[in-house]
Amino acid sequence: TSINDQQAERLSNVEYRLSLRGLTSITDKQAERLGKVKHLDLDGLTSLSDKQAQHLSKAKALRLAEHLQPLIDKYKKQ
C-alpha cells in the first residue's frame, strides 16, 4: 500500500494521532510531511532511508517495526 505526496501533505495536518499501518513504503518527501504528526503509527514500513528516519524522528511518538527503531533512535539523540 502506498500514498502520494498530495495525500501525505493532507495527512500531515492531522493534529494528534495518525495510523497508517498498511503503508509499506514512503518517499523522503512523504516522511518529511508525516514527521509533523505528533503520534504516528507506521508499523507496516519494511525499510527506511537515513533521510526518512531523520524526518520521522521528529514525531513525538512513533510506532514502527522493531527492526527500524534503532535508526529512529539514532536521530532522536541528535
Range of the domain at 19: 5-76
Positive or negative, the CA dihedral 52, 58, 64, 68 is positive
DSSP tag of 63: E
Q: What is the pLDDT of residue 77?
A: 76
Cell numbers standing for residue 73? 533512535
Q: Domains in the chain: how many in total?
A: 1
Whole-number pLDDT of residue 72 = 96
pLDDT tens for residues 32-76? 999 999 999 999 999 999 999 999 999 999 999 999 999 999 998
Question: Which pLDDT belongs to residue 16?
Answer: 83
Q: Are 64 and 40 contacting, i.e. CB atoms less than 8 angstroms apart?
A: no
Instruction: Provide the CA 25 distance to its chain's centre, in angstroms.
Output: 10
Residue that has been written with the C-alpha cell 495525500 in this structure:
7
